Amino acid sequence: MNPHLSEGQIADWAAGERDPEIDQHVRGCAVCAAELEQIGQAFSLFRESGKRWSEHWYAVAPVRGAQAGSKLALAGAVAALVVAAVLLSRAPAPSGPQEEPFVAIPYVVPPAPYERTAVVRMVIPVAALPSAGITIQMADVSGTVPADVLVGQDGRALAIRLVRDSNFNF
Residues 12 and 81 in one domain: yes
Residues 66 and 138 in one domain: no
| Domain end call among 87, 117, 132 | 87
Domain that holds residue 24: 7-87
Residue 42 CA to residue 47 CA, distance in Å, equals 9
Based on the number of CB atoms within 10 Å of its own CB, is 168 exposed (0-12), middle (13-18) or buried (19 or more)?
Answer: middle
Total number of domains in the chain: 2
Residues 82 and 19 in one domain: yes
In a domain, 167, yes or no: no
Question: What is the full per-residue pLDDT of the chain (170 aa) written as tens digits?
Answer: 458 888 888 888 777 788 888 888 888 888 888 888 888 888 888 788 778 877 777 776 555 555 556 777 777 788 887 777 777 776 666 655 556 688 888 778 888 888 888 998 888 887 777 776 677 776 666 778 888 888 988 888 888 888 876 555 54
Residues 32 and 77 in one domain: yes
Residues 22 and 83 in one domain: yes
In a domain, 170, yes or no: no
